[in-house]
Amino acid sequence: MRLLFDVNHPVQVHLLRHVASHFAARGDECLVVARDKDVTLRLLRHYGLEATTLAPLGHGLLGNLRELLQREWRLLRLARRLRPRLIVGTSVHAARVGRLVGARSVVINDDDAAAVPLFARLAYPLATRIVTPECLRREDYGARHATYAANQQLFYLHPKRFQPDPGVRTQLGLGPGEGFVLVRLSALQAHHDRGVRGLQAGFVAELQRALPVGLRVFISSERALPEELRALELPLPPERMHDALAAAELCVGDSQSVTAEAAVLGTPALRLNSFVGRISYLAELERRGLAYGFRPGQEADLLACVQALLADPARRATFAARREKLLAEMIDPLPWLIELLEHEASGGAGFTPAQPLGGLGGAAQPPPS
């Protein structure tokens, strides 16, 4: 059987690499196409996944439109030649290309349709299956809609697959008793980021002044940093990002994905951007006390929250307990997704998303990390 994975963002590398490993291990042919966005291609190479890039990365409205059209046409030509059984990804192309070549398509997404309306309009109408976390169950797409009781980040950060490497502290040059705050700055250049504001680089200086002695700042940034901040750039390869998130005292940034990753690892995650209040999976993490959201103009409130958290001697125990509660109340979603994809690849008949899949992970075992 042949499967085609469409990877558009570094997060999707982590989301889909375990899935691809599972199908490859059982003898299926797994093909990957990917956008050259941020560190996506580097991560794919690190995890041993060969990928085809279909078009140069677009910038701005016209550039994004050009890239969209080129990717879809070239993906269609590729799929006509290779004839995959199933096309999988957080992709606006999967459903239309799948329909044209007779393949089934599974679109995986964790953003609210209201936050990414163009994606939803382009990706969902022809999809064979739409997969979202349970917090989006109110987005009713009928029998095609399958929801899982977990955060998307648990596909790759569940403790069955990820255990942080404490050696990252040595790699960061931290001394005994020395801690750090990780700042994540996103590019905010996606089509749905138009008009969205996040953290400004100048905020980092304010954050440094607010921190107690003995806490350093490292910055992971999709944007080019000004010269005065380059010495703070996180000196780690991208595949070590999750080790750094787990070791940090706090994560402060404007990235949705990295905020959620820090939160499910039990690291207090503080986010400031215009999407606060509009993303259901982050609202759920905020409700659980694992993340905090602030809108532009609330930088002083964010700094006050940073100081209050760092002053709490029970912080680590509190967040560890909140993380354990989250893990206890959510499923491990990877076996669930693998079984759903196996079902789709075999034709998809006779399945309704409401029924449990193999006891939510009994039959399909995740590959080792």
pLDDT in tens, 71-95: 999 999 999 999 999 999 988 999 9
Give the pLDDT confidence of 242-282 residue by residue, as tens digits.
999 999 999 999 999 999 999 999 999 999 999 999 999 99
Do 11 and 353 contact (CB within 8 A), yes or no?
no
Mean pLDDT of all residues in 114-123: 92
What gap in Å lies between CA 5 and CA 3, rounded to an integer? 7
Task: Write out the two tokens for 66.
Answer: 């050009």
* Predicted confidence (pLDDT) at residue 194 exceeds the cutoff of 70: no
Query: Residue 58: its pLDDT value, please?
Result: 81
- The residue count of the chain comes to 369
What gap in Å lies between CA 101 and CA 222, rounded to an integer? 36
Structural domains for the chain: 2-150+331-361 (3.40.50.2000), 168-328 (3.40.50.2000)
What gap in Å lies between CA 333 and CA 150, rounded to an integer? 6
The structure's pTM equals 0.91
